Amino acid sequence: MSPGTWVEVDGRRVALTHLERVLYPQTGFTKAEMIDYYTRVAPALLGQLADRPVTRIRFPQGVEGERFFEKNLPRGAPEWVRHHVLPASPGSEDEGTSLDLPVIDGLASLVWAANQGAIELHTPQWRVGPRGGLRRPDRLVVDLDPGPGTGLDECAAVARLVAERLRADGLAQIVPVTSGSKGLQLYAPLPSGRSAAAVHGYARELAHTLAAEHPGRIVSNQKRSLRPGKVLVDWSQNHPAKTTITPYSLRGRDLPQVAAPRRWEEIASGLTQIGPQDVLERLARDGDLMAVATS
């Protein structure tokens, strides 16, 4: 292991290296600041990560350098990092193989992942049991992605349409999350017992119905030629092979922005993406807005 500073986190020894490295050159945001953010937001973030295998997007040299997706537990990981060998989901690029997937279940493993340059943390809509058994999805996510000529204002308007339909179908606890990139997501906890196929099918039907009702504003087909001037209601994130940026995770874009839970009264014109300091201040003021969407 490269020489670094060893710290004790929840009784575990974690090495911190290259803390001075600038991860976001446009703002000077460093690796030390990222680890500090993840440490301070951990009480809320760990609730979203709990029992979910985590796909990391690592940026060893910062957001302007090489990036890579990492699903499996890397060689040399501490022996105390929880992980499970699971069959790859049908329909994924790894179908037919097994993956050794880490679960970030505490502050020590969160700090370890951040030190690995894992800026983005992505999770599926299902959880894994203590011994590795797969559970049914416990949340629905609808990803609203603005096409060319649209932005967050248009996403906010579509979010209200989607939420109205979800509430009519009995999903009342819906949390909007600005993605930290271009669009936003809506999260809703699911009653137990629904299969992944049923949830995926429901999300697909929801998107297609809304696109048919609002053809000038919404598209449910990812074909690029259909997207200018419209918001894509992306239902595909509910497939068991898919993962979504985890609420409270940083994003590896030009600026250090966060997938940030928001209050519904904010979902209107003038909505903007926000950064880690804003998220921490809101968390102190409003509490964990995702708590209602956490089973």
Task: Answer yes or no: do 113 and 65 share one domain.
Answer: yes
15 is a domain residue: yes
134 is a domain residue: no
Q: For 148-158, how does the pLDDT look when each residue is reduced to its tens digit (9 = 90+)?
A: 999 999 999 99
Query: SS3 for 60-111, per residue?
Result: CCCCCCCCEEECCCCCCCCCCCCEEEEECCCCCCCCCCEEEEEECCCHHHHH
Q: How confident is the model at residue 44 (pLDDT cuts 50, 70, 90)?
A: very high
Q: For 183-194, how does the pLDDT look when each residue is reduced to its tens digit (9 = 90+)?
A: 999 999 998 889
Which of 75, 90, 123 is the endpoint of a domain? 123
The reply to whether the predicted model has a pTM over 0.85 is yes
130 is a domain residue: no
Our count of domains for the chain comes to 2
Q: Is pLDDT at 221 greater than 90 in this prediction?
A: yes
- Which CATH number do you get for residue 224? 3.30.70.3300
Q: For 71-129, how does the pLDDT look when each residue is reduced to its tens digit (9 = 90+)?
A: 999 999 999 999 999 988 887 888 889 999 999 999 999 999 999 999 999 999 999 99
Residues found in the chain: 295
Task: Answer yes or no: do 109 and 184 share one domain.
Answer: no
**Listed residue (195, 143, 188, 192) closest to 169, CA to CA:** 188
The answer to whether the CB of 237 falls within 8 A of the CB of 125 is: yes
Q: What is the pLDDT of residue 193?
A: 83
**Listed residue (25, 24, 20, 19) closest to 6, CA to CA:** 19
- Which CATH number do you get for residue 29? 3.90.920.10
Task: Answer yes or no: do 15 and 156 share one domain.
Answer: no
Domain that residue 54 falls in: 5-123
Task: Answer yes or no: do 47 and 178 share one domain.
Answer: no
Q: How confident is the model at residue 295 (pLDDT cuts 50, 70, 90)?
A: very low
Task: Answer yes or no: do 91 and 148 share one domain.
Answer: no
Task: Answer yes or no: do 36 and 147 share one domain.
Answer: no
